[in-house]
C-alpha cells in the first residue's frame, strides 16, 4: 500500500521536474521537452495502473494551479486550450505504455520503446489531435498536420524511454515494478 502510494507520488514529482529542465532544441529546430518522456517512463517503469495514477496525480496538481507543465504553464486554462487533448491523453498513454511493458516478454529496451511508441505516440496523438480539431474547429486530418511537427521529437523520446528503462532495469532489477510477476501491493 505505502509503496504504491510513494511510487505514484514520487513519479508525479519526477514528471514535474522533467518539465523544469530547460528544453533541448533538435538540429531541425523542433523543440523537445523531457516532460512527455516522464509520462512514458511512468508507464514503462511503474506499470499500467500505477503509471496512469501517477500521471493523473500530476495533472490534478496542475489543475489546482501549480505551474508544473513545461514552460511554467498550469492552472485551469490549459484544460480548455488547444493542447488540452494531449493532457487528457497523458494518463491513457502511460497506461498503454505500461500495459505493453507488462504483457510482452520482449527485452526491456524493445518492450519500453514499443510501449512508448504505441502509448506515447499512437494513443496520445489520437487524443491530442481530436482535442486540437475540437478547439480550433478543424477537421481531424487538418489537425493531424499540426500534430506532425511533434513527431520527430517524440520518436526520439520513445527511443530514449527505451534506453532509460533499460538503464533502470540494469541498475535496479527489482525496482522495475512493471516487470514484477506478482507486484507487491
Partner 1 sequence: MLTLTSPVETALHRLRAGPKLAVLAGFTFALFWISAPLWLGFALVAVGGLYLRGGVQFFRHGVAMLRPLWPFVAVVGLWHLWTEDLAAGGVIVLRMLAAVAAANLVTMTTRLSDMIAVLERLARPLAPVLPPRRLALAIALVIRFIPVLTERMAHLAQAWRARSGRRPGWRLIAPAALAALDDAEQVANALRARGGAG
Contact residues for partner 1 (CB under 8 A)?
1-3, 5-14, 16-18, 20-21, 24, 34, 37, 41, 45, 57-58, 60-61, 64-68, 71, 73-83, 135-138, 142, 146, 160, 163-164, 167-168, 171-172, 175
Helix axes 48-64, 2-20, angle to 10 degrees: 60
Nearer to partner 1, 64 or 104 (CB): 64
HSE of 53 in the Cβ direction (CA atoms, 13 Å)? 12
Nearer to partner 1, 25 or 122 (CB): 25
Nearer to partner 1, 138 or 183 (CB): 138
Q: How far is CA 117 from CA 11, 32, 46, 155, 162, in A?
A: 20, 16, 17, 7, 10
Nearer to partner 1, 41 or 94 (CB): 41
Q: How far is the CB of 2 from partner 1 (least distance, A)?
A: 4
Q: How far is the CB of 31 from partner 1 (least distance, A)?
A: 11
User: How far is the C-alpha of 90 from the C-alpha of 87, rounded, in Å?
Assistant: 5
Nearer to partner 1, 104 or 145 (CB): 145
Report CA dihedral (25, 46, 55, 27) to the nearest 10 degrees.
Answer: 10
Cβ(113)–Cβ(161) below 8 Å: yes
User: How far is the C-alpha of 132 from the C-alpha of 81, rounded, in Å?
Assistant: 8
Q: How far is the CB of 29 from partner 1 (least distance, A)?
A: 14
Q: How far is the CB of 36 from partner 1 (least distance, A)?
A: 12
- What's the grid cell of residue 49? 495502473
Q: How far is the CB of 1 from partner 1 (least distance, A)?
A: 6
Amino acid at each position: 500500500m505505502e509503496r504504491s502510494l510513494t511510487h505514484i507520488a514520487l513519479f508525479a514529482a519526477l514528471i514535474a521536474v522533467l518539465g523544469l529542465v530547460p528544453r533541448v532544441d533538435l538540429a531541425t529546430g523542433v523543440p523537445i521537452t523531457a516532460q512527455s518522456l516522464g509520462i512514458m517512463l511512468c508507464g514503462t517503469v511503474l506499470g499500467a495502473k500505477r503509471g496512469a495514477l501517477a500521471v493523473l496525480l500530476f495533472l490534478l496538481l496542475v489543475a489546482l494551479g501549480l505551474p508544473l507543465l513545461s514552460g511554467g504553464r498550469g492552472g485551469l486554462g490549459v484544460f480548455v486550450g488547444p493542447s488540452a487533448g494531449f493532457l487528457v491523453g497523458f494518463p491513457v498513454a502511460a497506461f498503454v505504455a505500461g500495459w505493453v511493458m507488462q504483457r510482452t516478454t520482449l527485452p526491456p529496451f524493445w518492450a519500453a520503446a514499443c510501449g512508448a511508441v504505441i502509448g506515447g505516440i499512437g494513443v496520445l496523438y489520437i487524443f491530442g489531435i481530436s482535442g486540437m480539431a475540437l478547439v480550433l474547429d478543424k477537421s481531424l486530418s487538418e489537425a493531424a498536420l499540426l500534430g506532425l511537427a511533434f513527431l520527430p521529437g517524440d520518436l526520439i523520446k520513445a527511443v530514449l524511454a527505451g534506453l532509460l528503462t533499460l538503464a533502470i532495469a540494469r541498475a535496479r532489477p527489482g525496482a522495475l515494478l512493471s516487470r514484477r510477476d506478482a507486484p507487491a501491493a
